[in-house]
Amino acid sequence: MGVDYAELHDPNAEYTMRELSAETMGVRAKRGGGRDVEITDVQTTMVDGNFPWTLVRVYTDAGIVGTGEAYWGAGVPELIERMTPMIVGENPLDIDRLYEHLIQKMSGEGSVEGVTVTAISGIEVALHDLAGKILDLPAYQLLGGKYRDEMRVYCDCHTEEEADPEACADEAERVVEDLGYDALKFDLDVPSGLEKDRANRHLRPGEIRHKAEIVEQVTERVKDRADVAFDCHWTFSGVSAKRLADAIEEYDVWWLEDPVPPENLEVQEEVTKSTTTPITVGENRYRVTEERRLIENQAVDIVAPDLPKVGGMRETRKIADVANQYYVPVAMHNVSSPVATMAAAQVGAAIPNALAVEYHSYELGWWDDLVEETVIEDGSIEIPERPGLGLTLDMDAVEEHMVDGEELFDPA
Ligand SMILES: [Mg+2]
């Protein structure tokens, strides 16, 4: 922290295997028709939402600015600052090459997985918004065109009495009837009071019965009015996960999410193949390289990439393409502001196998104040025909909710 990388020798310069700048690749970045544009700066501003949202803006010499968002993570703004000189002077329309360029140049910082990929994701989303604005096309058009006009949104639900099955059912009823969602998710890694030792990942029989009771009461309450998923946050052993998935088979959940830790693919595969309860995994995997292994091994029934973390919009499209080869639907994990939420909806519009996009901020109250447009209405996002992501940041709202010590973006 506090080191100005611009004043240091570039530690990657002599070791980069492949240099994908336009100059060294012999790629002509110049072109006509108003598309001869250069990136002049990249800036970030962190907003204190129910997660720290890192908003990213890419500036150009055409006066057009693209807005993106990176998933949270310590050091993400610093990594973006580190990458800025790597793309200044480049044409923002070369999204794929600039993405690969950053992956290559940042290999030393760790661009296979982790916060470096997260930081690159934020720039990549901003490039899609920017390219759409330069070309006067909505982002979905850059990704292959449209399968659907609206993207279904599921609501991540919470109640203060998260371990009380009836309280969960009451909240499900409220979200369906009052907020208009027909797709919900609840946490299932909640305490039953019967735990002896949570470190060993083993579920006691009473704990499984308690979880099944939550699932039963919620699904029975909303019945055919809503699909309901349940999230375990990588908590249980393989055998406990299998017994839990087996115990809730009769309730026809939408999916059971992350029942076992993410590192061991063989355990994940065994759990998924042991049950007819659909298993969803993917929010803490990075890039198509990692998501591909889940899909190809049929270790996942529904894949759940987090777009502003996994690599961005094209990377999510690539993951969806692999998933589609295995007839696997995509339910996009999302805890972001309206910016990355809309990016996920734009990808969802352009892929055949989009199932839903998550909304994780219904308790916040001011989530959609960050942009001038309406984003979620009646449990879905209407895909805008406006250029890029189709959103305009409300700078007063961004300033009001900025993390202390952050600076607001420069004007375009
Ligand atoms: Mg989850």
pLDDT in tens, 271-320: 999 999 999 999 999 999 999 999 999 999 999 999 999 999 999 999 99
Residue 3 has pLDDT above 50, yes or no: yes
Which CATH architecture describes the domain 5-137?
Answer: 2-Layer Sandwich (3.30)
Q: How many A from CA of 186 to the centre of ligand 1?
A: 10
In the chain, what are the domain boundaries? 5-137, 142-386
183 bridge partner residues: 227
Q: How many A from CA of 189 to the centre of ligand 1?
A: 11
Q: How many A from CA of 52 to the centre of ligand 1?
A: 17
pLDDT score, position 355: 98
Q: How many A from CA of 228 to the centre of ligand 1?
A: 13
**What confidence tier does 17 reach under pLDDT thresholds 50, 70, 90?**
very low
pLDDT in tens, 98-145: 999 999 989 888 999 999 999 999 999 999 999 999 999 999 999 999
**What confidence tier does 1 reach under pLDDT thresholds 50, 70, 90?**
very low
360 neighbors 185 (Cβ within 8 angstroms)? no
**What confidence tier does 6 reach under pLDDT thresholds 50, 70, 90?**
low
Q: How many A from CA of 289 to the centre of ligand 1?
A: 20
Percent of the chain at pLDDT exceeding 90? 89
Q: How many A from CA of 282 to the centre of ligand 1?
A: 8
pLDDT score, position 108: 86
What is the mean predicted confidence (pLDDT) over 204-214? 98
* pTM, two decimal places: 0.95
Q: What would the two tokens of residue 95 be?
A: 């999204």
pLDDT in tens, 381-391: 999 999 999 99
Q: Return the number of other C-beta atoms located less than 10 Å from residue 79's C-beta.
A: 29
Q: How many A from CA of 259 to the centre of ligand 1?
A: 10
Q: How many A from CA of 187 to the centre of ligand 1?
A: 8
Q: How many A from CA of 280 to the centre of ligand 1?
A: 9
Q: How many A from CA of 232 to the centre of ligand 1?
A: 7
Q: Return the number of other C-beta atoms located less than 10 Å from residue 80's C-beta.
A: 25
**What confidence tier does 246 reach under pLDDT thresholds 50, 70, 90?**
very high
Q: How many A from CA of 295 to the centre of ligand 1?
A: 17
Q: How many A from CA of 302 to the centre of ligand 1?
A: 12
Q: How many A from CA of 191 to the centre of ligand 1?
A: 17
22 neighbors 98 (Cβ within 8 angstroms)? no
Crossing angle for the helix pair 165-177 and 205-222, to the nearest 10 degrees: 30
pLDDT in tens, 134-183: 999 999 999 999 999 999 999 999 999 999 999 999 999 999 999 999 99
pLDDT score, position 412: 83
Same fold, 5-137 and 142-386: no
Q: How many A from CA of 231 to the centre of ligand 1?
A: 5
Number of residues that this document lists for the chain: 412
Q: What would the two tokens of residue 62 be?
A: 């055409």
Give the list of residues 6+ apart from residue 167 with CB closer than 8 angstroms, or none: 159, 160, 161
Mean pLDDT of the chain: 94
Q: What are the backbone angles phi and psi of residue 85, rounded to the nearest 5°?
A: -65, -20
Q: How many A from CA of 173 to the centre of ligand 1?
A: 21
Q: How many A from CA of 339 to the centre of ligand 1?
A: 20
Q: How many A from CA of 283 to the centre of ligand 1?
A: 7
Q: How many A from CA of 72 to the centre of ligand 1?
A: 15
142-386 belongs to which homologous superfamily? Answer: Enolase-like C-terminal domain (3.20.20.120)
Q: How many A from CA of 390 to the centre of ligand 1?
A: 27
Alpha-carbon torsion (274, 280, 283, 286), positive or negative: positive
Residue 18 has pLDDT above 90, yes or no: no
Q: How many A from CA of 304 to the centre of ligand 1?
A: 8
Q: How many A from CA of 272 to the centre of ligand 1?
A: 16
Q: How many A from CA of 64 to the centre of ligand 1?
A: 36
Using alpha carbons, list the distances in angstroms from residue 189 to 33, 210, 299, 332, 407: 55, 11, 21, 20, 38
Q: How many A from CA of 23 to the centre of ligand 1?
A: 42
Q: How many A from CA of 409 to the centre of ligand 1?
A: 31
Alpha carbon distance 303, 318 (integer Å): 12
Percent of the chain at pLDDT exceeding 70? 93
Residue 264 has pLDDT above 50, yes or no: yes
pLDDT in tens, 35-84: 899 999 999 999 999 999 999 999 999 999 999 999 999 999 999 999 99
